[in-house]
Amino acid sequence: MNEISNKWIGERTIRPDGIDKVTGRAAFAADTSMPGMIWGKVLRSPHAHAVIKSIDTSKAEALPGVKAVVTAADIVDFPVDTPVPLGIQDMRWMCRNVLAREKALWHGHAIAGVAATSEAIAEEACALIEVEYEVLPHAIEIDDALAKDAPILHDFITFDGKPSNIAGTLEHTKGDVEAGFAEADLVIERDFTTRPVHQGYIEPHACLVSTAADGKMTIWSSSQGQFMVRAMTALLTGIPQSNIRAIPAEIGGGFGGKTIIYLEPMAAILSKKSGRPVKMVMTREEVMRASGPTSGSKSTVKIGVRKDGKITAAEGIYWLQAGGLPGSPIRGAVGCALAPYDIPNGRTLGYDVVSNRSKVAAYRAPGAPIGAFGVECVLDEIADKLGMDPLDLRLKNAAKEGTKAVHGPTFPLMGYVESLEAAKAHAHYNAPLGPNQGRGVASGFWFNAGGESSAQVNITEDGNVVVTTGHPDIGGSRAGIANICAELLGIDYRRISVLIGDTATIGFSNLTGGSRVLFASSIVVTESTKKIIATLCELAAKIWDIDPEAVIWEDGEARPAGANAGQFPPLTLEELAARANESGGPIGAGTQLNTTGAEGGFGTHICDVEIDPELGIARVIRYTVLQDVGRAVHPSYVEGQMQGGAAQAIGWALNEEYLYDKNGKVDNPGFLDYRMPVASDLPMLDTHIIEIPNPKHPQGVRGVGEVPLVPGPAAVRNAIHNALGIYFDDLPISPPRILAALEGQKAAAE
Amino acid sequence: MTNIQYLAPATLDEAVRAFAAAEGAARILAGGTDLLVQMQSGFAKPGMIVDVKKIPELMAIEETAGGGFIVGAAVSGATLERHPTFGKIWPGALEALNLIGSTQVQGRASFGGNLCNGSPAADSVPGLVAAGATVTIQGPNGRRELAVEDVPAGPGKTNLAPGEIAVSFTFPAHPAHSGDAYLRMIPRTEMDIAVVGCGVFLTMDGETCTAARVALGAVAPTVRRVPDAEAALIGSHLDDAALETAAAACRAACNPIDDKRGTIAYRTSVAGVLLKRTVAIAAERAAQA
């Protein structure tokens, strides 16, 4: 446990990026331009599934103003039989995602790129590229891809010895599931579907790449990891990492969707070929057609309980859409589905299913909301059938410290039970409901993560502090780090600037994702700051001519440790910085670590809806997110994460889905008809922070951002059930679906 | 490279001349909230753009006798909202126009643009039809006037002849004890396009409805006036039976498609619901007017 004084940790300090963002000064990826810059545009497949027989770019290259063209032939090939993992991605699929190689696998799949002196010329040149396609039948939905006569996307993928669109499986088992179901007094089994949902970041993917005559390359782009950008671009272009400097722009939202790259390798090759800086910016339509949403899914969840509500067995089978290339987040689905519960006999199984849609990318707790949806819905029905309060049912089965999870680990100290108890006691849970209103609850889990992080903390000559880390800030990590560093140094947080370094100025740091950044970066910042405090104490000791052990650091100054150490006036950070050369020189410290000790997070949501039964509209009228966050280093940002996750969950539940036409083309590639909630759709989302500090972290941090999406879709669905007495097992629960179900209910009653 | 010629004439005659001379290669730019989006998506590729916002008649708001108005075709929603009396007299028409898009879009979007874009789901068009508005059109062969409901010809199509430009909308005198209203169904609360839209105008004599106009949007290839619903309301006390008959007439008038914004069954059902709700608002306004 931490022993810190809490002067700054837990304070709602002013966010360091706030003024730039509200005044428009913040520089996002598309804000960077250079003299001599030219524009890149992408030719995309007009077919959902087609063999690329030939690509002729000669007419495009002949168009005045065109400076370079790129196709898959310019990208390093990663043969399909040799896995090359990079983080959660595999370069075999990345190289085919960035530019279609053998086949166009979805409508909008990148086929070629052109760089020209204007966007208009580049677009015109794209239209001059002649591609010979052999159009193939396509499969969009999971059932289409699994059908007996389904078109097979990849002939190298087999399942059960036959060519298949099932690209992989993952299974967790504990105990004897069949025996567990045999012991149950009540067994509920249901089938569910969830739809692919886009992360919906406001900033489209964008980059600027400049290549010098000596081959050194600089990339400015918006991503969740500048080192990921460097590594993937290096692998896909064959350029050594040391020749690529990736500079992270301020990011206009990622939610997981910017943990992979699309444009940078194309722009790198176009820049290398043309010798000019090349800028590429996706349109919203390109984002919707060609960048990764999360998987759609179908699942079957079966849970058995005794009369007292104790779970005897649980099973979840999940099929997740990967898009046109393998790699859906089955780990999150099968790992998180049953994690909140102490289940003696459990089994989860996930299938990774390819179909002719854009390749999925990470999205906030990838896979976990899909896993939780069916489980939390079935628990709702069990509580209903047993006449039990749904929170009591969860409390009866809640995982605790020492519980062995179905996905393997034995849980350490954690705050799931606390989230349930807080929900039960919450005013929201005990408030009366009006006509056409209903209330639902659901819980969720996410692993959280540690991994590689680097930090450099430097004391300026005037005694202030600059902290550099290697992670793009998508959730308030700069503000959190400033609070932590201020706490450790005992100085005002406004004296600390927290910056995000580029790949040439800070050591390797894994990308921002998995709710890992504040966990990991605060470990390395803490280490660096402790080293600096030791240096400052040594400097003071030398000035005072006493033992370094006889100096302590308190309230931003060095003091003699006690009367025995001698009588000296304290030396402040400013005074010591000015006298740095009296011992050792400039004061600074770097730390690079593969951090460990991340522990999972749990949350519980309460949702109230009101239904307009004539129009079939469900509106969320009250919502409360309760979550164990370990330690809320900056509570406003923690609340923001909790609210953001819940807002996205409401979109999953009520409105968001991709609509495809019969040719396999997305029919709603924009925010008008891809209906994410707007602000007026949501009530104020209330939050309740629970702090059970992570004992393995210096400040007790667990990670916050992923968990608050996980319970949400089921909480909304359970609330709608409570209001109408109708189980909706397919998302989104849109007005036409609600109205049709109500009419069905009426007809059945007559 | 495609070159686009941009003109911003100061007179209507000049605009009509240029528009007609371009022979279909030109598009009229009012607020541009549809045109610029269509151009950006590659759907529209005009060779010439004729910006009509410099023409005084298209930007004017004139109050005529008895609560009538002449509203320039390019007057923006935000401008009309700030007019001291228009929204008090024609709240339904104004709310229909003001529902289009965001605050930013309201600074540009106009009745004329919304009508001439030809969308079956245009929000302001059922509002205009219910209000009994007519549109003044000027073309190479002079001026003419059409009832608003006679302008739409199908998705993206109007009955305007080549070279014709919508100039202004004439709202008739507003009888005593009359009220108008517009409601639309969208899955979200704003920033959306109508799945069903319903405009209603009523005149009341005590408890009795003496005049009614009903218009539906987004349920057929064009915005549609519903005479059977009007007939059911006129002479009634707006009682449940009359409302149900009118709602049934609205459902019967629906000829929608299944698309990304709604299903046939859903749209048809909702048309009847919106009729009842819109009538209730219009009746309350009539009682206060």
DSSP string, A111-160: EEEEEESSHHHHHHHHHH-EEEEEE-----SHHHHHSTTPPPS-TT-EET
| Amino acid at position B242, single letter | A
Summarised one tens digit per residue, pLDDT across range A457-472 is 999 999 999 999 999 9
CA of A515: how far to CAs of A62, A399, A679, B131, in Å? Answer: 48, 21, 25, 55
Indicate if the pLDDT at residue B262 is higher than 80: yes
A-chain CB neighbours of B2 within 8 Å are 120
Give the separation between CA A558 and CA A580, rounded to whole angstroms: 13
- Residue pointed to by tokens 């609560």: B67
What is the CATH class of A32-136+202-253+258-290? Answer: alpha beta
**Burial group, residue B274, by CB count within 10 angstroms (0-12, 13-18, 19+):** buried
Instruction: Write the DSSP symbol of residue A505.
Output: T
A673 reaches B (C-beta below 8 A): yes
Q: What is the mean pLDDT of residues A247-272?
A: 97
Nearest to B1 among A121, A659, A680 (CB): A121
Return the bridge partners of B158, or none. Answer: B152
Contact B262 A654 (CB under 8 A): no
Is there a common fold for A32-136+202-253+258-290 and A297-448+599-749? Answer: no
Fold of A297-448+599-749: Aldehyde Oxidoreductase; domain 4 (3.30.365)
Say how far residue B154 (Cα) sits from the centre of its chain: 14
Residues 6+ apart with CB under 8 A from A553: A489, A490, A533, A536, A537, A559
- Residue pointed to by tokens 């007179």: B11
Report how many Cβ contacts below 8 Å link chain A to chain B: 56
Between the two ends of chain B, the Cα-to-Cα distance in Å is: 57
Which phi and psi angles does A123 have, rounded to 5°?
Answer: -65, -45
CA of B191: how far to CAs of A680, B98, B124, in Å? Answer: 10, 11, 15
Contact B265 A736 (CB under 8 A): yes
Largest CA-CA distance found in chain A, in angstroms, rounded: 95
CA of A657: how far to CAs of A472, A668, B260, in Å? Answer: 29, 9, 10
Structure confidence at residue A5 (pLDDT): 59
Contact B187 A614 (CB under 8 A): no
CB B178 within 8 A of CB B66: no
Q: Tell me the nearest-neighbour CA distance from A141 into chain B, angstroms.
A: 17
Q: What is the mean pLDDT of residues A564-586?
A: 94
Beta B61-63 vs B48-51: how paired, if at all? unpaired
Of A254-258, A723-727, B191-195, which gets the smallest average pLDDT?
Answer: B191-195
Interface of B with A (CB under 8 A): 1-2, 40-41, 185, 187-193, 195, 260-263, 265-266, 269-270, 273
Contact A680 B189 (CB under 8 A): yes
Q: What is the mean pLDDT of residues B82-107?
A: 97
Give the separation between CA A132 and CA A143, rounded to whole angstroms: 29
A7 reaches B (C-beta below 8 A): no
Beta A311-323 vs A346-354: how paired, if at all? parallel
CA of A468: how far to CAs of A457, A460, A462, A612, A635, in Å? Answer: 6, 13, 18, 52, 22
Indicate if the pLDDT at residue B41 is higher than 90: no
Q: Tell me the nearest-neighbour CA distance from B128 into chain A, angstroms.
A: 24
Q: Tell me the nearest-neighbour CA distance from A673 into chain B, angstroms.
A: 7
Q: What is the CATH number assigned to the segment(s) A18-25+450-595?
A: 3.30.365.10
Return the bridge partners of A54, or none. Answer: A132
Q: In what side-by-side order are the strands of the sheet with A278-281? A: A66-71, A110-116, A38-44, A278-281, A206-211, A217-221, A244-248
Give the separation between CA A251 and CA A475, rounded to whole angstroms: 10
Structure confidence at residue A583 (pLDDT): 86
Give the separation between CA A300 and CA A318, rounded to whole angstroms: 7
Kindly provide the residue ranges of all beta strands, DSSP E only, lying in A231-378, ordered along the sequence: 244-248, 278-281, 297-305, 311-323, 346-354
What is the CATH class of B178-288? Answer: alpha beta
**Hey, is A382 helix, strand or coil?**
helix
CB B34 within 8 A of CB B121: no
Summarised one tens digit per residue, pLDDT across range B114-145 is 999 999 999 999 999 999 999 999 999 999 99
CB A639 within 8 A of CB A603: no
Give the separation between CA A224 and CA A513, rounded to whole angstroms: 7
Structure confidence at residue B1 (pLDDT): 46
Q: Tell me the nearest-neighbour CA distance from A708 into chain B, angstroms.
A: 22
Indicate if the pLDDT at residue A4 is higher than 60: no
Contact A673 B188 (CB under 8 A): no
CB A580 within 8 A of CB A586: yes
Q: What is the mean pLDDT of residues A83-92?
A: 95
- Angle between the A264-274 and A226-237 helix axes, to the nearest 10 degrees? 60
| Amino acid at position A563, single letter | A
Indicate if the pLDDT at residue A706 is higher than 70: yes
How many CB atoms sit inside 10 A of residue A619's CB? 17
Contact A673 B193 (CB under 8 A): yes
Domain ranges of chain A: 18-25+450-595, 32-136+202-253+258-290, 297-448+599-749
Structure confidence at residue B5 (pLDDT): 95
A293 reaches B (C-beta below 8 A): no
Q: What is the mean pLDDT of residues A609-630?
A: 97
pLDDT band per the 50, 70, 90 thresholds, residue A1: very low
Residues 6+ apart with CB under 8 A from B7: B15, B18, B48, B49, B50, B51
- When the pLDDT of each residue in chain B is averaged and rounded to a whole number, the result is 96
3-state SS string over chain B?
A: CCCCEEECCCCHHHHHHHHHHCCCCEEEECCCCCHHHHHHCCCCCCCEEEECCCCHHHHCEEECHHHCEEEECCCEHHHHHCCCCHHHHCHHHHHHHHCCCCHHHHCCCEHHHHHHCCCCCCCHHHHHHHHCCEEEEEECCEEEEEEHHHCEEECCEECCCCCCEEEEEEECCCCCCEEEEEEEECCCCCCCCCCEEEEEEEEEECCEEEEEEEEEECCCCCCEECHHHHHHHCCCCCCHHHHHHHHHHHHHHCCCCCECCECHHHHHHHHHHHHHHHHHHHHHHHHHC
Token pair recorded at residue B32: 């541009």
A401 reaches B (C-beta below 8 A): no
Residues 6+ apart with CB under 8 A from A425: none
**What is the Cα Rg of chain A in Å?**
27
Q: Comparing C-alpha atoms, which of A254, A209, A215 is closest to residue A70?
A: A209
Residues 6+ apart with CB under 8 A from A186: A304, A305, A307, A382, A385, A386
Indicate if the pLDDT at residue A484 is higher than 90: yes
Nearest to B261 among A616, A673, A677 (CB): A673
Token pair recorded at residue B99: 């529902």
How many CB atoms sit inside 10 A of residue A701's CB? 32
A-chain CB neighbours of B190 within 8 Å are 678, 680
Give the separation between CA B282 and CA A224, rounded to whole angstroms: 52
Residue B183, CB-side half-sphere exposure with 13 Å CA sphere: 16
Nearest to B188 among A678, A736, A740 (CB): A678
A120 reaches B (C-beta below 8 A): yes
pLDDT band per the 50, 70, 90 thresholds, residue B261: confident
Q: What is the mean pLDDT of residues A504-512?
A: 97
How many CB atoms sit inside 10 A of residue A98's CB? 23
pLDDT band per the 50, 70, 90 thresholds, residue A18: very high
Structure confidence at residue B24 (pLDDT): 87
Give the separation between CA B187 and CA B193, rounded to whole angstroms: 9
Q: What is the mean pLDDT of residues B251-273?
A: 93
Token pair recorded at residue A150: 């389904």
Domain ranges of chain B: 5-171, 178-288
Asked if ipTM goes beyond 0.90, one says: yes
Fold of B5-171: 3.30.465
CB A557 within 8 A of CB A570: yes
Indicate if the pLDDT at residue A151 is higher than 60: yes
